[in-house]
Amino acid sequence: MLTSRPQSSIAFTVSIGAAMLVGAVVMALVLFASGAPEAVAIGVVLSSIPFGPVLGCYLWLDRYEPEPRSLLLLGLGWGAFVATSAAIFLQAFDAFAFGPSEAVESVLVAPVTEEAAKGLFILLLLLYRRSEFDGILDGIVYAGMVGVGFAFVEDILYLSQAYIGDDVRTGGIEEAVALFIVRGIASPFAHPFFTAFIGIGIGIAVSSRRRSVQVLAPTLGYLAAVGTHAAWNGSLLLDGGSGALVAYVAVMVPAFLIMVAFAVWSRHREGVLLAAALTDCAARGFLDAAEVPWLSRIPARKACRTFAERSGGRPALDAMKDYQSAAIELGFLHHRYLRGTAPARYEELGQAHVATMYALRPLLRWPVMAGALR
Give the model's pLDDT for residue 2: 39
| Listed residue (367, 263, 361) closest to 311, CA to CA | 367
Residue 8 has a pLDDT of 65
pLDDT of residue 257: 85
- In contact, 343 and 131? CB cutoff 8 Å: yes
Q: Are residues 173 and 26 in the same domain?
A: yes
Say if residue 170 is exposed, middle or buried (CB neighbours under 10 Å; 0-12, 13-18, 19+): exposed
Residues 242-274 as b or e (16 or more Cβ within 10 Å = b): eebeebbeeebeeebeebeeebeebbeebeebb
> Do both 182 and 287 map to the same domain?
no
Task: Report the alpha-carbon distance of residue 171 to residue 169 in Å, rounded.
Answer: 6
Q: Which of 189, 218, 235 is the last residue of a domain?
A: 235
In this structure, are 216 and 335 located in the same domain? no
Neighbour count for residue 18 (Cβ, 10 Å): 11
Does residue 308 lie in a domain region?
yes
Residues 119 and 203 in one domain: yes
Q: State how far the alpha carbon of 336 is from the alpha carbons of 4, 101, 195, 197, 331, in Å.
A: 23, 48, 24, 22, 9
Q: Give the whole-angstrom CA distance, residue 212 versus residue 330.
A: 28
Q: Is residue 327 part of a domain?
A: yes
Residues 29 and 102 placed together within one structural domain of the fold: yes
Distances (CA, A) of 203 to 65, 100, 149, 190, 196: 15, 35, 20, 20, 10
Beta-sheet strands, E only, within the chain? none
* Count: domains in the chain: 2
Is 130 in the same domain as 214? yes
Residue 253 domain-assigned (yes or no): no
Residues 6+ away with beta carbon under 8 Å from 325: 66
Q: pLDDT in tens for each of the 374 residues of the chain?
A: 333 455 567 888 889 999 999 999 999 999 888 778 899 999 999 999 999 999 999 999 888 788 889 999 999 999 999 999 999 999 999 998 888 888 899 999 999 999 999 999 999 998 888 878 888 999 999 999 999 999 999 999 999 999 998 777 788 899 999 999 988 988 889 999 999 999 999 999 988 888 999 999 999 999 999 999 998 888 888 766 666 677 777 777 788 888 889 888 888 888 899 999 999 999 999 999 999 999 999 999 999 999 999 999 999 999 999 999 999 999 999 999 999 988 888 899 999 999 999 999 999 999 965 444 44
Range of the domain at 322: 273-370
Domain boundary among 210, 235, 260: 235
State residue 237's pLDDT score. 81
The answer to whether residues 284 and 217 belong to one domain is: no
In this structure, are residues 142 and 66 in contact, taking their beta carbons and an 8 Å threshold? no
In angstroms, the CA 287 to CA 88 distance is 51
pLDDT of res. 170: 81
For residues 30 and 162, membership in a common domain is answered with yes
Collapsed DSSP state (helix, strand, coil) of residue 232? helix
Cα-Cα-Cα-Cα torsion 296, 137, 340, 276, nearest 10 degrees, comes to 20
- HEC-encoded secondary structure of 81-123: HHHHHHHHHHHHHHHHHHCCCHHHHHHHHHHHHHHHHHHHHHH
